[in-house]
Chains A and B, each alone.
Chain A
Amino acid sequence: MIFFTFGFLAFFAFVLALNWALKPWPLAWRIFLLAASYYFYTVWDWRLLVALIALSFANYWFGARIKKSFYGKKKFLLVLGVASNLLALGYFKYYDFFRLSAETILQKLGVAVNLPLLELMVTAGLSFYLFKMISFLADCYSGKIDRYPLLVDLALYFAFFPQLLSGPIARANDFLPQLENGGAKFIDRPYHYVSRLMAGLFKKLLIVNYLAVNITDDVFAVPQNHGSLVILLAVLAYALVIYFDFSSYTDMSIGFAGLMGFRSPENFNFPYGALTISEFWRKWHITLSDWVRDYIYIPLGGNRKGGLRRSFNLVIAMTAMGFWHGAQAHYIFWGILHGLALGLAAYSKNLINKIRKFFLGRFVLWFITFIFVLLSWIFFRVETVSDGFAMVKQLLSLQRLDESFKLYALVAIAVGYIFIALEQHIISFLAKAQEKMPLPVWFIFVAAAIALLFRAGSDTLPAFIYFNF
């Protein structure tokens, strides 16, 4: 099920009612939420549910053993547990990449081998819950898990449906306490959560679809047909598309979870306003960035082993991030680019701190960061690295500047960036305005607004970009 479909809305209404009705019986409530999450997931492919349940059992076992063990055995169990999760990720998500690579290498060595094929299946959500599993084991190892959870609680943490398909990647220490004693008794920020739902629907159904269909998809599909200016517009629009697509999912995830009484971590904080690339990664896909920092960068040594090693660690961590998005060279290249930029920014930290003291300096820093992020999105979106370079070359060639483009594209892009800049204020204003409404007026307002958003949106059902990752 996808968040903004009508079927999901009906599912959510059912789950929401029982979620609150069952709270006086905490165990039944948690079992119900787990069953609802499993139902939500099995709609995609029942085999995925089998994998999720099996991995939940395995991680419950590994976590318990890691927590009880000491020294070498503890480390051995951690390595084994993490390796099992990575093996599952590799099998379901990267098998075909590894199969083709192995066959090619063996062919070059003169051994013609056809390795077994894997029947294709949708792997939506897999890498997100595997991140939760790996972080849980690492937290057990480092002693961050005080009380070992019940199996049902841990399974619910892995499978909680608002966060299952595309995050945010909540930490066990944040989520599990919310299950204690029947969880929240009231909805703490109802108007905020409803506003987030409306903002998510607005971004996904109207902005993303419009920009993708009318501007970006077409230019990125056959960029050789377009001049520098139109390519620049498409790249600017794509930066909006990827932000709105993913942040709309996060908005809805936070909104749905919030109405059920759960707090979720934020994933975005005005990333295109970042002054440096390291600041960008503290504002973009925050839960994944934090995960990569805590479970890849810091275990590699982080910044504790000198400047050169730090830069190397950053490149490795970001390459892993790129590979996570897909086993294609262009994702890996995108990750390396960001790793190198982060390394360079780390080296130039003192200089950057001096520059950012001045207004003009801050502007220059922002501009450099934004241009870098924009150019790197090209490599994220194209099919091959060479396509990316060809597009960058065409963009920088300043050729065919007279190619006509629709004025509405420029207006749409400008509106998109203004919306991003004001987004948090808009959501806050919307929440405050709703709070002042009498209950019947508020009901009519929300129902009419959401019904209209569906009506004004695309006639076809768009998918989320991050379901692929």
Chain B
Amino acid sequence: MFLLFGKNKDHKQNGAEKKFRPLTAVLLVLTVVMAAGFYNSRKVILWETRRDGGADRIFSPAMVAEAEISENLKTKLGLDDLYRREDLAWRALKESPLVFGQPEASERVLEGDQAALPDLTENKFPFEAASSTDQGESASTSIVAEEVPVSQTTLPQLTDLGTALAKKSTPFRILIVGDSFMAIGGGLGDPLEKTLLSQKDTIVTRQGKVSSGLSRQNYFDWQALIKKMIEMHRPNVAVMMFGANDNGPVIDGNGKILASWGSVNWDARYREHIDQVMDLFKNADAEIFVVGVPIMKNQALARDIKHINSLFEQEAAKYPKAHYVSTWELLADQNGNYTDYILDNSGKKRLVRTADGVHLQYYAGYYVSEAIVSQMRNYLDLQPK
């Protein structure tokens, strides 16, 4: 024990660093743990409770407990407002175009379609710039073109803009939004984007956010982002996939818990969040494809996801232009149970899931993408290039 609590000795030699007793290092690390945990208490709770793997049963809960105490302490000390402002400042910094770029980072303009997206920055009415590319386009798409008033000279409000823009038939301006399944590495987002880009007259914009969903607006405000993205990209087709991270409390943008998971009013509050997103797409007059989450390896999670999927399906049924696409059974075995492998066309078993039992291998990504696009063809005249 003397090494830990013994007297410090200066072992500094020529050019070498000053050596110090190990107790200093122990105290330093403890200080770091306490300070980082206190300052980042919300991140601690998020990271240590919603991880795919690698979380332990002793130290992660200990840190969560410290974070919860920190949260209470901040409230007692009247620091909530200060932290809220600080949080807003960080968000503004992280979302600043100068720091992390603009959310349209994944904007796609295909060769030959450069003029398809009008310049919205100069207060032009969108169709003034887009009209030239409309000529000669195929009129065979199912989204019917209508007359557009051209007398406006200022940027219209979102609702008017979306309604007007969606009257364009082609190109299909497809907006894909979702959680980690749609982000890079989730296994579905980029295969779906590639599959849609292999169709004629498509412009695809994809935005995926790991660990996000519609239940925790304080963590990631999809409603706000989708609103912005509709303004920027004016989609006439939307593909959305949420739910895999949503089996928790429904929280509003201010961090207020609206309903705990499993409580009687959870469904109603969550439906409101679904409807907020659906309404945004509805106002933009977009054809909406709501993709359900596939079956999960963890049985408890699978049960939760099945329930959340059913809410999406029911809400989609309320909107005339919304269509629910189920992926549950696509990746289940013959008995409807979870499986890591499915049979390919040649009869060989192919690996479809990653080791976390949640995300998809790229083979599965293309497999599911084909199924989604196939269903989209029932409503859109998507033609392979």
Contacts and interface: CB of A to CB of B under 8 A. Distances in A.
Interface of A: 1-2, 5-14, 16-17, 19-21, 23-24, 39, 43-45, 96, 100, 103-104, 107, 112, 114, 117, 119-123, 185-192, 194, 210, 212-214, 217-218, 221-222, 224-225, 259, 261, 383, 400, 406, 408-409, 431, 435, 439, 442-443, 446-448, 450-452, 454-456, 459-461
Contacts of A210: 100
A386 to B, nearest CB: 13
A112 B194 CA distance: 33
A187 B25 contact: yes
Interface residues of B, number: 87
Contact of B25 (A213, A225, A259): A259
B377 interface: no
Interface in B199-236: 209-211, 219-220
Nearest to B110: A225
B349 A114 contact: yes
B110 to A, nearest CB: 7
B348 A1 contact: no
B31 interface: yes
B54 A2 contact: yes
B25 A461 contact: no
A192 B18 CA distance: 10
Given A20-B3, A187-B25, A439-B24, A447 B190 contact: no
A12 B48 CA distance: 15
Given A20-B4, A222-B197, A455-B90, A39 B56 contact: yes
B91 to A, nearest CB: 9
Given A17-B4, A188-B19, A383-B362, A10 B190 contact: no
B44 interface: yes
Contact of A186 (B11, B30, B55, B210): B11
6 contacts: A112-B347, A218-B106, A459-B219, A459-B220, A461-B210, A461-B211
A235 to B, nearest CB: 16
B149 interface: no
A38 to B, nearest CB: 12
Given A7-B60, A20-B22, A117-B341, A450 B184 contact: no
Nearest to B91: A459
Given A190-B17, A194-B28, A431-B17, A451 B47 contact: no
Q: Which of B32, B39, B63, B354 has the most CB of A within 10 A?
A: B32
Contact of B54 (A6, A43, A435): A43
B184 A218 contact: yes
Contact of B26 (A20, A39, A104, A383): A20
B333 to A, nearest CB: 11
A4 to B, nearest CB: 10
Contact of A221 (B23, B53, B193): B193
Contacts of A119: 340
B219 A6 contact: no
Contacts of A446: 28, 31-32
Given A10-B66, A39-B56, A222-B190, 14 more contacts: A6-B63, A14-B59, A17-B30, A100-B348, A120-B355, A186-B22, A187-B20, A187-B22, A188-B19, A190-B18, A213-B184, A214-B101, A224-B197, A461-B51
A57 B63 CA distance: 35
A1 B54 contact: yes
B43 A122 contact: no
A454 B43 contact: yes
B34 to A, nearest CB: 8
A315 B53 CA distance: 37
A447 B35 contact: yes
Given A6-B63, A450-B35, A455 B22 contact: no
Contacts of B97: 406, 408
A99 to B, nearest CB: 8
B59 A7 contact: yes
A448 B39 CA distance: 9
B46 interface: yes
B204 to A, nearest CB: 8
A14 B54 CA distance: 18
Contacts of A100: 348, 350
Given A10-B62, A120-B355, A400 B111 contact: yes
Contacts of A185: 3
Q: Which residue of B31, B35, B190 has the most chain A CB atoms within 10 A of its CB atom?
A: B35
Given A6-B36, A14-B59, A187-B22, A104 B348 contact: yes
B39 A451 contact: yes
B351 A120 contact: yes
B1 interface: yes
A43 B3 CA distance: 30
